[in-house]
Amino acid sequence: MERRRWAGDTSTLSTPRILPDAHAEGASGGDTGRMTVFVATSVGEALDALTASKPPEILAGGTDLMVEVNFGRRRPDAIVSIGRIASLRRWRCSGEGDASADGEPPEQRELDVDGVRSAGVVEVGAGVTYRQMTEEALAGLVPALAQAARTVGSPQIRNAGTLGGNLATASPAGDTLPVLLALDAEVVVARADGSRLLPVRELVLGPKRSALAPGELIVAARLPARFGHQEFVKVGTRNAMVIATASVALVVSWEPLDVRVALGSVGPTPLRVPAAEDYACARLDAASGELRGGRADLERFAELVRAAARPIDDHRSSARYRRHAVGVCAERALQRAMRSRQVTLGAGGDRVRVGAQMLPEGESPSEGARWATS
């Protein structure tokens, strides 16, 4: 079948376009050779499209969906593109001096959920790209989200892929998911008759299975601003453009002491590790930034993390390696958090401010996303 490029004015939802087939007949979606594409310019238009008896697939950055379409694994009859919805490409922070993506006073969103405007809350639109997450203003509010975003794909992927797409894909290897889970983030989900808040821990049900109902659209994620010291550490088969073999997000709030650990790519869903969190809280000394039992406590912490992992063997890694690697990642993340605390307390070195975090002099800001290989 002839392969042709789809083109034309796509400025309104009311004028659907037809995408000629680029695959052999028989791919999922039927053998008609035609695909209806709606380009929404508002959340309302997108939700109207999703009320169809057979809701269309949602296209944001396309970094996941289009791979499956191009390989013939999925062939939807209809797509609603949400890339031109300006409100989804913004973020805002309320409390402690409001901030927004463009430095202007935050605008009122199209959708609100029960009028919630908690102090110190960052609301990141579903259309915010990985590149935007790495920009200084947002990275300073949620450092681990920026660390995770820096490890995603190539610059082209980071310019296209979005937070909402990473959430909706619901892959256990999704790089932002451990960060959002560790921060107890909530997802703002809209539908034609209202909206709801869904905790991230309840969103992912299994590999690429989410709790989203037909007709629902993720419009934002809400998470705390400037919460504790944050680290994201990821292991892959190479040092760039790689899907995680294992990843760890760690958040340590020293006053009062609170430790949170979330794992990625070592289970059917991202995992929290309450046993390791409780152990670290019991063994950390906030006054010194050290573990009371030294190296033995650190090894026990890593052991608890490994015990919580539920990895599998696949083409990227063995379960045995994944379990080992996630423990190494957790250990390194906690070491960095302790070192940062010691520097803040004046236990060594000059301080270098990176966003909301303090790093020892000479340590690169990107080291929070370095690769563990041992």
Quote the pLDDT of residue 222.
97
Quote the pLDDT of residue 365.
42
Q: Which of 34-43, 138-147, 256-265, 348-357 shows the lowest mean pLDDT across its residues? A: 348-357
- 230 has pLDDT over 70: yes
Q: Which residues, at least 6 apart from 257, have a Cβ–Cβ distance to it below 8 Å?
A: 281, 284, 286
Q: Measuring CA to CA, which residue among 115, 209, 122 is closest to residue 171?
A: 209
Question: What is the spatial distance between Cα 146 and Cα 130, in angstroms, rounded to a whole number?
Answer: 8
Domain 229-369, CATH number (from 3.40.50.620, 2.40.50.140, 3.30.390.50, 1.10.1740.10)? 3.30.390.50
Confidence label for 112 from pLDDT (cuts 50, 70 and 90): very low
Q: Which of 55-59, 105-109, 112-116, 280-284 shows the lowest mean pLDDT across its residues? A: 112-116
Question: What is the spatial distance between Cα 131 and Cα 160, in angstroms, rounded to a whole number?
Answer: 8
Confidence label for 102 from pLDDT (cuts 50, 70 and 90): low
- 289 has pLDDT over 70: yes
- 266 has pLDDT over 70: yes
Residue 184 Ramachandran class (φ > 0 left, ψ -120 to 50 alpha, else beta):
left
Q: Please, what is the average pLDDT of the chain?
A: 82
Quote the pLDDT of residue 32.
55
Quote the pLDDT of residue 26.
36
Q: Which residues, at least 6 apart from 331, have a Cβ–Cβ distance to it below 8 Å?
A: 298, 299, 301, 302
Region 90-224: CATH code: 3.30.465.10
- 361 has pLDDT over 50: no
Confidence label for 100 from pLDDT (cuts 50, 70 and 90): low
- Report the DSSP beta bridge partners of residue 195: 190
Hey, how many other C-beta atoms are within 10 angstroms of the C-beta on 33?
16
How confident is the model over 338-350, as pLDDT tens digits? 999 999 998 444 4
Class of domain 17-81: alpha beta
Quote the pLDDT of residue 106.
37
Q: Per this entry, what is the length of the chain?
A: 374
Quote the pLDDT of residue 74.
84
Quote the pLDDT of residue 250.
98
The arithmetic mean of pLDDT across residues 103-110, rounded, is 38
- 25 has pLDDT over 80: no
The arithmetic mean of pLDDT across residues 92-111, rounded, is 53
Q: What percent of the chain has pLDDT over 70?
A: 77
Tokens of 53: 């008896």
Question: What is the spatial distance between Cα 125 and Cα 5, in angstroms, rounded to a whole number?
Answer: 30
Q: Global pTM? A: 0.80
Exposure letters 287-323 (e unless 16+ CB within 10 A, then b): eebbbeeeeebbebbbbbbbebbebeeeebbeeeebb
Question: What is the spatial distance between Cα 301 and Cα 284, in angstroms, rounded to a whole number?
Answer: 11
- 5 has pLDDT over 50: no
Question: What is the spatial distance between Cα 269 and Cα 42, in angstroms, rounded to a whole number?
Answer: 31
Q: Which of 18-27, 222-231, 256-265, 328-337 shows the lowest mean pLDDT across its residues? A: 18-27
Domain ranges of the chain: 17-81, 90-224, 229-369
Quote the pLDDT of residue 119.
42
How confident is the model over 199-213, as pLDDT tens digits? 999 999 999 999 999
How confident is the model over 127-171, as pLDDT tens digits? 999 999 999 999 999 999 999 999 998 899 999 999 999 999 999
CA distances from 8 to 12, 35, 261, 262, 301 (A): 11, 14, 47, 44, 56
